[in-house]
A and B are shown apart, each in its own frame.
Chain A
Amino acid sequence: MSPVPLLAVENLTMCFGGLVAVDNISFTAYRGEITAIIGPNGAGKTTVFNCLTGFYRPSAGRLAVHKDGEILQLERIEGFRIVRRAGIARTFQNIRLFAGMTVLENLIVAQHNPLMKASVFSLAGLLGLPRYRAAERAAVERARHWLDRIGLTDRADWLAAALPYGAQRRLEIARALCTGPALLCLDEPAAGLNPRESAELNDLLLGVRDEEQIGILLIEHDMSVVMGISDHVIVLDYGRKIADGTPAEVRADPEVIKAYLGEDEIDNAAEEAPLRPLAGREGGARANGAAA
């Protein structure tokens, strides 16, 4: 892939009091690649995300993003500016949509910054100047594009909370994509999805990777997703990185098998999607069936 990494994490460490949640981790992620971070519960995966997206200030280490030939130090950028400055968007493990707003509004809010600029401190917006109206139309078009991609166009005016679980997950991904990111961080996007939704998610992510040429960073437990679409897998355990390589390499790594996956588990995982009984998947499955 491209020689310059999109994201270079060097010696990232995050402590909470005496607890070292992330211990001296380094890795890189590239444009046009899907990088998966896996590891048992409590391995520090989400903490890495929180450091990347400015929710936590790392205790030590450097988080560099290469953007337009410039190197940005994420740890020095105030949390909410990271999207705009460094182009990192994320989703959350427990879906965080604007539940009381419509699907379309969720996607428009994601384009707050360009729209705000176009509305000139709301003045142009209040007066309804053409400059703002054009910007709003463009925002709606972008939203429509992603709605088409996730198959929610016909439900654009529904309240986000009224969507079935699987659709909410897709909407959250679309919302992150509406910010026009260079790096998309997905925290367990397949959690609670049924096998078919999971497969559709794989297609979506592969499509986004290839068409948009952006980097995707993925935390996932569902091995069918991880092994199926990742270009690159990083394994964490107790806050440390224990393996880093292609899915095949990681799968064969004895350290990984010993520390985390277990021999049987990984064979199963590779061959069939693990069926985990999770609340919410029923609704998702039904809705998906109905939509299909």
Chain B
Amino acid sequence: MAYFLQQLINGLTLGAIYGLIAIGYTMVYGIIGMINFAHGEIYMIGAFISIIAFLVLGLAGVTYVPLALAIVLLITMLFTSIYGWAVERIAYRPLRGSFRLAPLISAIGMSIFLQNYVQIFQGARGKPMPPVVQGGFTVFESGGFAVRLSYLQLFIMLLTLALMIGFTTLIAVTPLGRAQRACEQDMRMAALLGVDVDRVISLTFVMGAALAAVAGLMVTLYYGVVDFFIGFLAGVKAFTAAVLGGVGSLPGAMLGGILIGLIEAFWSGYFSVEYKDVSVFVVLILVLVFCPTGLLGRPEVEKV
């Protein structure tokens, strides 16, 4: 029971991170119907920028942890968003209306490019990050097994929750959110009604990148090491989360993220660590084959 609870906490933490990345996939898919294959790389870049920001702050002498966290969070979101914007502008915008596979291939090219770019300029080795948020408390104890919830895990879950609430509000009430939902329904009509579609799409990428940046920061703090290759697996897992929750649905992305986090945590807790990634891929394939609309997605009717 205690072990189960511990895995639950671990899974929820992981799930929060996957969920944040998954939102980026689901929003982009919702609006332009493409898989932004480079999104995992954006998250990886977020992780790198957060490490660099911590280092610079350390050199500047900012030692008060909450302040440092807040500054790093802002810097990471800002710079990563620019990457998100640039990727869309360079690799996807010129391809609107091109043939079916073009944006996906371009995205794969972008993903390869970004991976190698970071590898060349930051090195191939894993970058260690000393723990910033330490400590925690025991939630529950039984039979000599203590269920621990670290402050960091708490921080990750609360921050995710806050971001989700803020983000949902943004989409629901602001004019930007309205324009975005309009583009999702019918891009050409929205354009005719005076919505600047290019700007809305750009902002979608920026928002997705900002959330992925937060995920990158979290993973840096949580695992204490990042390398240029982390984007690939995290990207696939987050994409699985988006599909599981129903592509195009924001709550679905979060739900899918949490489910994937839990599946991964319990699989490694109870079965084998070696095959934990296989579990995610199997979920992806099963969902796509048997229930392509996901848990909260809308069914697609084929137009002939």
Task: Decide yes or no whether B192 CB sits under 8 A from chain A.
Answer: no
B301 and A16 contact, CB distance less than 8 A = yes
Query: From B99, which residue of chain A is reached at the shortest CB distance?
Result: A100
- Least Cβ distance of A55 to chain B in Å? 5
Determine if A13 is an interface residue (Cβ-Cβ < 8 Å). no
Contacts of B193 in A (CB 8 A): none
What is the size, in residues, of chain B's interface with A at 8 Å between Cβ atoms? Answer: 3
Contact B301 A55 (CB under 8 A): no
Q: Which residues on the A side are within 8 Å of B302 (C-beta)?
A: 55
List A contacts of B301 (CB < 8 A): 16
- B59 close to A (CB within 8 Å): no
A102 on the B face (CB < 8 A) = no
- Assembly CA distance A16 to B301 (angstroms): 9
The residue of chain B having its C-beta at the shortest distance from the C-beta of A16 within the complex is: B301
Contacts of B304 in A (CB 8 A): 46, 50, 55, 92
Closest residue of chain A to B299 (Cβ to Cβ) is A17
Q: Name the residue on B nearest A55 (C-beta).
A: B304
In the complex, what residues of B have CB within 8 A of residue A50's CB? 304
- Binary interface profile of B, 293-304, with partner A (CB < 8 Å = 1, else 0)? 000000001101
Nearest to B301 among chain A residues (CB) is: A16
A55 to B304, CA, bound (A): 8
Chain A: residues with Cβ within 8 Å of the partner, total of: 5
A240-279 at interface with B (beta carbon < 8 Å): none
Q: How many A-B residue pairs have CB under 8 A?
A: 6
**CA distance in complex: A50, B302 (Å):** 11
Closest residue of chain A to B304 (Cβ to Cβ) is A55
For chain B residues 246-304, which have a beta carbon within 8 Å of chain A? 301-302, 304
Docked complex Cα distance between A50 and B304 (Å)? 8
Q: How far is the CA of A92 from the CA of B303 in the complex (A)?
A: 11
- With both beta carbons as reference points, the residue of chain B lying nearest to A53 in the complex is identified as B304
How many angstroms between the C-alpha atoms of A92 and B302 in the bound complex?
14
CB-CB nearest in chain B for A46: B304
A55 contacts which chain B residues (CB < 8 A)?
Answer: 302, 304
In Å, the complex CA distance between A221 and B304 comes to: 18
B297 smallest CB distance to A (angstroms): 15
Q: Give the Cβ gap from A250 to chain B, nearest Cβ, in Å.
A: 27
Q: Contacts of A92 on B, CB cut-off 8 Å?
A: 304
Q: Mark A36-47, 1 if CB is under 8 A from B, else 0.
A: 000000000010
Q: Nearest Cβ distance between residue B4 and chain A, in whole angstroms?
A: 40
Bound-complex Cα distance A186 to B70 (A) = 64
The distance in angstroms between the C-alpha atoms of A46 and B301, with both chains bound, is 14
User: Once bound together, how far apart are the Cα atoms of A55 and B302, in whole Å?
Assistant: 9
Contacts of A46 in B (CB 8 A): 304
How far apart sit A177 and B119, CA to CA, in the bound complex (Å)? 58
Per the 8 Å Cβ criterion, residues 7-37 of A in contact with B are 16
State the CA gap A216–B301 with chains docked (Å): 28
Please measure, in the bound complex, the distance between the C-alpha atom of A89 and the C-alpha atom of B302, giving whole angstroms: 19
Task: Give the chain B neighbours of A16 by CB distance below 8 A.
Answer: 301
Docked complex Cα distance between A281 and B302 (Å): 28
Complex Cα distance, B6 from A264, in Å, reads 77
Give A99's nearest chain B residue, CB to CB. B99
Rounded to whole angstroms, the CA-CA distance of A92 and B304 in the bound complex is 8
A16 to B300, CA, bound (A): 11
Question: When chains A and B are docked, how far (Å) is the Cα of A50 from the Cα of B303?
Answer: 10
Q: Nearest residue in B to A49 (C-beta to C-beta)? A: B304
B102: min CB distance to chain A, Å: 14
A66 CB to nearest chain B CB (Å): 25
B302: nearest residue on chain A (CB-CB)? A55
C-alpha gap A92/B8 in the complex (Å): 53
Residue in chain B with minimal CB distance to A50:
B304
Please measure, in the bound complex, the distance between the C-alpha atom of A46 and the C-alpha atom of B302, giving whole angstroms: 13
Minimum Cβ distance to chain A for residue B188 (Å): 15
A40-86 residues at the B interface, CB under 8 angstroms:
46, 50, 55
* B301 CB, min distance to chain A CBs, angstroms: 6
Min CB gap A50→B, angstroms: 5
Please measure, in the bound complex, the distance between the C-alpha atom of A92 and the C-alpha atom of B301, giving whole angstroms.
17
Instruction: Determine how close the nearest CB of chain B comes to the CB of A86; give it in whole angstroms.
Output: 18
B116, chain A: closest CB distance, angstroms: 33
Q: Please, what's the 1-or-0 string for B61-82, where 1 marks a CB less than 8 Å from any CB in chain A?
A: 0000000000000000000000
A16 to B302, alpha carbons, bound, how many Å? 11
6 A-B interface contacts by CB (under 8 A): A16-B301, A46-B304, A50-B304, A55-B302, A55-B304, A92-B304
**A-binding residues in B (CB < 8 A):** 301-302, 304
6 cross-chain pairs, A with B, having the tightest CB-CB distances, nearest first = A55-B304, A50-B304, A16-B301, A92-B304, A55-B302, A46-B304
